[in-house]
Amino acid sequence: MSRPPRSPWLPPADPDEGKLWLSWLARLRWLALFAQGATLGFVFGLLDGWEALAAWAAAMGFLVVFNLWTVSRLDMREEVPESGVLVQLLVDVAALTVFFALGGGPDTPFLTQYLVHVAKGAVVLSPREAAV
């Protein structure tokens, strides 16, 4: 008999540390996507044409699909390796790069958000993995 899927807002029942970090990253990503959607609603008129809007929507769409896949991994029996958590953080950094490039490049005041991901990597990953 299969068990019902768990809510992504609850910590995993499995004691696997990788799944714990994965659940936190998934929750933070949902909140970030909500914030990006709200931001997009406010700055819609300020974007330079439909190309920027399409790129922003594509990046958000990719993150939604990626996060749905991440949440589905929480129900799997296998452990999440540290490299899997590293890939999650690298995808977040790549998405931040796209959002910052569309939102003003190096002049954006939100550039310090990279430090949040560096700090998360330092806490979550081993020194060898965090060096990436």
- pLDDT over 70 (residue 21): yes
Closest to 74 (Cα-Cα) out of 2, 8, 118, 17: 8
Q: Per-residue pLDDT tens for 41-79?
A: 777 666 667 777 888 889 999 999 999 999 988 887 788
pTM across the whole model: 0.77
Buried b (16+ CB within 10 A) or exposed e, 54-83: eebeebbeebeebbeebbebbeeeeebebe
Provide the pLDDT confidence category of residue 8 given band limits of 50, 70 and 90: low
For 20, other C-beta atoms within 10 Å of its C-beta total 17
Closest to 126 (Cα-Cα) out of 82, 72, 81: 82
Q: Per-residue pLDDT tens for 66-112?
A: 999 999 888 877 888 888 888 998 998 898 888 888 777 778 777 77
- pLDDT over 90 (residue 30): yes
The one-letter amino acid at 8: P
Question: Higher model confidence: residue 50 or residue 25?
Answer: 25
